[in-house]
Chain A
Amino acid sequence: MPAQAAHLRFADLRRRFGRLRVLTGVSGEVAPGEALLVNGPNGSGKSTLLRILAGLLAQERGTVELSQDGRVLDLSERRRSLGYVAPDLALYEELTAFENLEFFARLRGVPAERGRELLDRVGLPHDRPAGALSSGMRQRLRWAWALLDRPRLLLLDEPFQNLDRAGIEQGTELLEEHLDAGGLAVVANPGPLEVPRVRSRIELGL
């Protein structure tokens, strides 16, 4: 089922933490089927930008607009339309991989089968507790979680961290499928990254 087309626009985003100015007016635009690549050294604000786009952090100034069919989605709708992969995102250690996805699937009204489907896709055992997964497997679980509700926008912060070659290939494949279906993606990485369909780049920290 293809993701319905959406459009992302953000303008003049600013955010500081105490006296530290992390974002000083970042703007960008992503059209359906496109990926936006965000590069920059550590501490340049990549994760902060993605958190703001996800609605997890409030910006001090600037706007974020995820629109669909010409209508701008409000914060809770925006959150429901996105999938987020980030190093500091964790799932419940006491639950198995499947139980984790089943829980979140229930929150979103997605059938539990989708969880099984995604776990098979990323090659994870269903019944191992999330706490017993290796770091590479946790990363795969994050991918599975992000794709659970067929998001329109994928926000990927260091998406291939800890993944082996097979994992990276698979992640790239999943991303391509998402973009082919008309989805949007914003990918942040400290160094250069092979990302399909990159139309624009943002360099932070200059």
Chain B
Amino acid sequence: MKTLLSWLLWLWIGLVIVAGYALVPPLAGFVGGGESSRILFFHVPMAWTSFVAFLAAGIWSALYLGRKTRQRRHDLAAAAAVEIGLVFCLLATLSGAWWAWVEWGGARWELSAFWNWDPRQLSITAALIYYAAYLALRSQVADAEVRGRIAGAYAVLGLFVAPFLFFVAPRMATFSLHPEPVINPEGDVQMDPSVLWLLLAGSLGFTVLFFWLHNLATRLAILEDRNEVEA
């Protein structure tokens, strides 16, 4: 059953990638007659999935903190969610920066084109740092129970901070002295419907991929933890 599901997942993602090239028209106004816009189908799902990952980490952390639901596996699940989410977040940031470079820097080898301090770049960078800090914290607490509580509190604190980063940051852009809006097709009504559907499909595929990886990582962590106890 699991093998069937995993094959299905790979097929799904594969189709999304193929469709991204073959079935969807290029977005007007982008480099290469719009071909460069296809990175969208990778970039956006990555960002979306990292958001899901961090939300999941917050929820599992909250479960660990609750007295009645305080089980080791919740803490391990939270940590795994952050670790994997961090990878998705990094990929989102890098793909975004690369895209920006292709769009506005390419021919001139201008490094400055990598980063424009678009509000969303701020949000994703802050998220990246936040969860790297979470992992740093985990590495510095020896006792498992204390580690779970403190890191858990930090992850839940992140949920409080996140709305300000993701929703309020765009407001700041109006005051920015270097306004450089990056196309963000989410919610863009003028977009071709096939683009929207493909974005959703890609996001779904990568989210499932995340949970699959997460499940494996958590089970591994639980086994390692148990191994430490038995030894």
| Chain A residues in the interface with B (C-beta under 8 A) | 16-19, 58, 60
Tell whether, in the assembled complex, residue A18 and residue B145 are in contact, meaning their CB atoms are under 8 Å apart. Answer: no
Q: Which 7 residue pairs across A and B have the least CB separation, nearest first? A: A58-B145, A19-B231, A19-B228, A17-B143, A18-B142, A16-B229, A18-B228
10 pairs of residues in contact across A and B, judged by CB atoms under 8 Å: A16-B229, A17-B143, A18-B142, A18-B143, A18-B228, A19-B228, A19-B229, A19-B231, A58-B145, A60-B145
Please, how many angstroms separate the alpha-carbon atoms of A166 and B228 in the complex? 48
The number of A-B residue pairs with CB atoms under 8 Å apart is 10
Task: Give every chain A residue within 8 A of B142 (Cβ-Cβ).
Answer: 18
Task: Give every chain A residue within 8 A of B143 (Cβ-Cβ).
Answer: 17-18
B203-231 near A? 1/0 per residue, CB < 8 Å: 00000000000000000000000001101
Please, how many angstroms separate the alpha-carbon atoms of A17 and B229 in the complex? 10
Task: Give every chain A residue within 8 A of B228 (Cβ-Cβ).
Answer: 18-19
Please, how many angstroms separate the alpha-carbon atoms of A16 and B231 in the complex? 12
State how many angstroms separate the Cβ of A61 from the closest Cβ of chain B. 11
Q: How large is the interface on B (under 10, 10 to 19, 20 to 34, 35 or more residues)?
A: under 10
Task: Give every chain B residue within 8 A of A19 (Cβ-Cβ).
Answer: 228-229, 231
Please, how many angstroms separate the alpha-carbon atoms of A60 and B71 in the complex? 10
Q: A16-B229, A19-B229 are in contact. List 8 more A-B contacts (CB 8 A).
A: A17-B143, A18-B142, A18-B143, A18-B228, A19-B228, A19-B231, A58-B145, A60-B145
Please, how many angstroms separate the alpha-carbon atoms of A58 and B145 in the complex? 8
State how many angstroms separate the Cβ of B72 from the closest Cβ of chain A. 10
Please, how many angstroms separate the alpha-carbon atoms of A55 and B143 in the complex? 16
Please, how many angstroms separate the alpha-carbon atoms of A102 and B210 in the complex? 55
State how many angstroms separate the Cβ of B140 from the closest Cβ of chain A. 15
Please, how many angstroms separate the alpha-carbon atoms of A19 and B145 in the complex? 14
Task: Give every chain B residue within 8 A of A16 (Cβ-Cβ).
Answer: 229
Task: Give every chain A residue within 8 A of B229 (Cβ-Cβ).
Answer: 16, 19
B113-128 near A? 1/0 per residue, CB < 8 Å: 0000000000000000
Task: Give every chain B residue within 8 A of A18 (Cβ-Cβ).
Answer: 142-143, 228
State how many angstroms separate the Cβ of A122 from the closest Cβ of chain B. 34
State how many angstroms separate the Cβ of B75 from the closest Cβ of chain A. 13
Q: Which of B69-110 contact A (CB under 8 A)?
A: none
CB closest residue in chain A, given B67: A75
Please, how many angstroms separate the alpha-carbon atoms of A16 and B228 in the complex? 11
CB closest residue in chain A, given B145: A58
CB closest residue in chain A, given B142: A18
B131-162 near A? 1/0 per residue, CB < 8 Å: 00000000000110100000000000000000
State how many angstroms separate the Cβ of B120 from the closest Cβ of chain A. 41
CB closest residue in chain B, given A60: B145
State how many angstroms separate the Cβ of B44 from the closest Cβ of chain A. 43
Task: Give every chain B residue within 8 A of A17 (Cβ-Cβ).
Answer: 143
Please, how many angstroms separate the alpha-carbon atoms of A19 and B143 in the complex? 11
CB closest residue in chain A, given B231: A19
Task: Give every chain B residue within 8 A of A60 (Cβ-Cβ).
Answer: 145
State how many angstroms separate the Cβ of A206 from the closest Cβ of chain B. 21
Please, how many angstroms separate the alpha-carbon atoms of A18 and B143 in the complex? 7
Please, how many angstroms separate the alpha-carbon atoms of A17 and B231 in the complex? 13
Please, how many angstroms separate the alpha-carbon atoms of A58 and B146 in the complex? 9
State how many angstroms separate the Cβ of B225 from the closest Cβ of chain A. 11
State how many angstroms separate the Cβ of B87 from the closest Cβ of chain A. 28
CB closest residue in chain A, given B146: A58
Please, how many angstroms separate the alpha-carbon atoms of A19 and B224 in the complex? 12
CB closest residue in chain A, given B228: A19
Please, how many angstroms separate the alpha-carbon atoms of A52 and B145 in the complex? 13
CB closest residue in chain B, given A58: B145
State how many angstroms separate the Cβ of A162 from the closest Cβ of chain B. 29
State how many angstroms separate the Cβ of A150 from the closest Cβ of chain B. 29
Please, how many angstroms separate the alpha-carbon atoms of A152 and B143 in the complex? 31
State how many angstroms separate the Cβ of B224 from the closest Cβ of chain A. 13
Please, how many angstroms separate the alpha-carbon atoms of A12 and B126 in the complex? 46
